Amino acid sequence: MGRLPIPIAVWSLCFVAANIFILFKSPTLRSVRAGYLVIFNIQPLLLAVHSDLLIDLLGASRHSYFFFHRAAAWTTAALTAFHSIGMVLNGRSFSFSSLGNILAFSAACAVQLLILASFGFFRNRFYEVFIVLHYCLAASAAVGIAWHLRSVFDFSNPGYLEVYCVSFVTVFLILCVYRTCYLICRSLKGGRLASVSVRPSDRDTVAIKVTVNLPRPLRVAAGQYINLTVPSLDASSSIQSHPFVVTSWSKDRQKSLDLFVERRRGFTRKLHLADSQEGRHAIVSGPFGRRVSLLEFDFVLLLASGYGIAAQAAYLRELVSGGNRQKAHLVWLISKRDIVNPAGKWLLNPVLDQDTKKARSILTLVQTQLTGLQMILISIFDNVGSLEGTPSAADSTVAKTFGGRARLYKGKPDLKAIIRKGMQDCLCGERSRNGRLLLLGEFFSCNLHEPN
């Protein structure tokens, strides 16, 4: 998993320290303390509207950031309930004739509903509804708590809590202004907006290729992603921003970006049904994500499963354009057969065509005699069954060869053997420098032990 970024580690220590040491003998003090902690915990939650920017600033991964986001959300919900119930049990009068009390009660309910709506069974099935509901409930909670604080704090004679709240609002507004200006600069030039054109696969309707035409050229590093908004799809699309990994790569700034998208429910389905060669207006933010230098490694192992192949396409392009200094091996685990043809046509074939040493098409079923050292090797592992024409015997032999360098196997990859073979080739090669290996991509269940 690597080392935890220092800003995340510091925030984690503050989070744990502030939320654990809340022991007071007086029930009233405990309830008040819980209310203060709600203020402490909810502010990082509200900053999640700028999550991509914060992730890059903190040097964290999306997984780590949203793990702490969920932890803070659950803590805030528990503290809100503790504060509300405790104040009522302690004899505090609460009348719904006051607007402040109504908004405070609404904020407490909104926080609890946010937790309920975030469970996987609802979020995964109704993601578009979840996004809109999440924003609405978060805004309702923020407004209710802010109004409630007006009657609790004396902002005319501010203490440290008042200063803390005002500082947060100031930072939040600055980020909003910065993000708005950034979006306008990125998506608009001379009255011309960014646009998207959609092209479905020729042989199926699952994979689609999206081309984002930019009003201003943009430099995107391999592995980075953009957030895409297409307001014209429907009424709710204007407040939805979806991340997509950029599959195109260039040393220079790009005027258009290619995306490889799986058509599912919601946004991608609407995008596919709105198939447009002319282009629809779009709002683009980014790029976001870490920049990884490939130059200092002799062997690059790229792991992907399913549509995760899109995240590795730009790395392959960068490796090929670098003059074949490194040996690269792409290990691709598939569970759906309909992805092979569109991925081969849009992602892998262009990479192999650029590989001037041995350009071979993955879809051209021709056995070729290769000479010299292979620089790009692609291994496809069919995890659910054999493809058409594949032998049924599950062994370690090649089941099918696509153009000489793309090979289809059955079962799961032996990652340890692949790494060992790649390092041996690097150390024995004339271009070996330091024998360093770089592993990129997602981790999936695979064979990491010695074969019997």
pLDDT digits (tens, 9 = 90+) for 53-74: 878 777 777 777 888 888 888 8
Mean pLDDT (whole number) for 261-284: 76
Domain that holds residue 173: 6-184
| DSSP bridge partners of 327 | 299
pLDDT at 67: 82
- Report if residue 449 sits inside a domain: no
Residues 56 and 125 in one domain: yes
CATH number for position 247: 2.40.30.10
Residues 180 and 238 in one domain: no
Number of domains in the chain: 3
Q: Which of 11-25, 139-153, 199-213, 404-418 has the lowest mean pLDDT?
A: 11-25
Mean pLDDT (whole number) for 421-432: 63
Residues 69 and 30 in one domain: yes
CATH number for position 397: 3.40.50
Distance between CA 22 and CA 82 in Å, rounded?
12
pLDDT at 361: 39
Percent of the chain with pLDDT over 90: 0
Collect all residues with Cβ–Cβ distance below 8 Å to 16 and sequence separation of at least 6: none
- Asked whether 254 and 217 are in contact (CB, 8 A), the reply is yes
Name the packing angle between helices 6-20 and 62-89 (round to 10°).
20
Residues 156 and 217 in one domain: no
Band (pLDDT 50/70/90 cuts) for residue 333 is confident
Residues 176 and 195 in one domain: no
Mean pLDDT (whole number) for 362-387: 45
pLDDT at 307: 84
Band (pLDDT 50/70/90 cuts) for residue 218 is confident
- Report if residue 112 sits inside a domain: yes
Q: Which of 199-213, 244-258, 368-382, 383-397 has the lowest mean pLDDT?
A: 383-397
Mean pLDDT (whole number) for 288-302: 79
